[in-house]
Amino acid sequence: MSSLRSSRPTSPMAESCRNWPRASIFAPSCPSCARRWPKPSTPTIPSMPLPSRKSADAHFALSYVLRYAGMLEQSAQECNQARQLDPGNFAFRSCAWSFLEMGKTDRAMDFVHLDAGSEWEAWVTPYVHLAEGNVTEARAAARNMGKVPTYHRDLMEACTAAQPPADLAGIVRENEASVAMEPDPEAWYHVAALMARCGQSEPALRLLKLAVQQNYCAYSALLDDPLLKDLRKDTKFNEVLTAASTCQAVLKEGRQ
């Protein structure tokens, strides 16, 4: 089963498209969903239909929406509800990001292990170790990452190396350019967080700004993500945080 899973699209958004809330502003961010649901002019956070609200898939889909809205606490609650109703569903693995960005790395790893042995697990595991502050484990785990460009293995290896490579600036430039070509703004956030942890503030801020502009609000992640600890000291960080707050406010207003 793990070999079949590793061949799936690397974009985490794709795995929940079949259950995606049709009212969600985030449906267009899912490559295979974009063909079905046009992007509305005014973004909103959907409410799940009452008959399906009790299903594990519905909780999981809503957790996705809430994570994109920058509401991690609520997203985590939905993830826990989904897991309680369907404990072994490996599709819930991406809930790991909600917990990682809250600094709850043990719980994040619980969700990562839902897809044990897959390329997806190998991709996310170094991020969890970095969020824990364990660079040595992150360095070791990076060796298991796939070589597909969307995993950005070279950036992870450079950022966890015992000594920064001489071509670090070039690696950062290449990854900033390549991730910006990916359709999912959450991918931009992940690479930005890694760059921030790597001390690459300027490209990290640029990618975070782009992600927020594409409705990946990330407000609570910006406040709590361990990988952004040093970046929060940068005076320009407040500009991104303000934009994320506005992004979230628009979503909440549309839901009322």
Is residue 245 pLDDT above 50, yes or no?
A: yes
The pLDDT mean for the chain works out to 85
Q: Pick 251 or 26 by higher pLDDT.
A: 251
Tokens 């649901």 map to which residue? 37
Label residue 252 by pLDDT band (50, 70, 90): confident
Residue 251's pLDDT band, with cuts at 50, 70 and 90, is: confident
Q: Which of 230, 220, 226 is nearest to 131 (CA)?
A: 226
Confidence band for 44, pLDDT divided at 50, 70 and 90: low
For CA atoms 201, 10, 47, 60, give the dihedral sign: negative
Could you tell me what percent of the chain has a pLDDT over 90? 77
Is 120's pLDDT higher than 90? yes
**DSSP codes joined into one string, 172-222:** HHHHHHHHTTSS-HHHHHHHHHHHHHTT-HHHHHHHHHHHHHTT---HHHH
Average pLDDT over residues 72-89: 97
Q: Rounded distance, CA 139 to CA 162, Å?
A: 9
Other residues' Cβ atoms within 10 Å of the Cβ of residue 180:
14
Looking at CATH, the fold of the domain delimited by 12-255 is given as 1.25.40
- Band (pLDDT 50/70/90 cuts) for residue 92 is very high
User: Is residue 240 within 8 Å of 250, Cβ to Cβ?
Assistant: no
SS3 state at 78: helix
Predicted TM-score (pTM) of the model is: 0.82
Question: Per residue in 138-187, pLDDT tens?
Answer: 999 999 999 999 999 999 999 999 999 999 999 999 999 999 999 999 99
pLDDT digits (tens, 9 = 90+) for 218-231: 999 999 999 999 99
Which residues touch 224 (CB under 8 Å, ≥6 apart)?
A: 72, 101, 102, 103
Nearest-angstrom CA–CA distance, 63 and 91: 12
* pLDDT of the residue at 46: 54
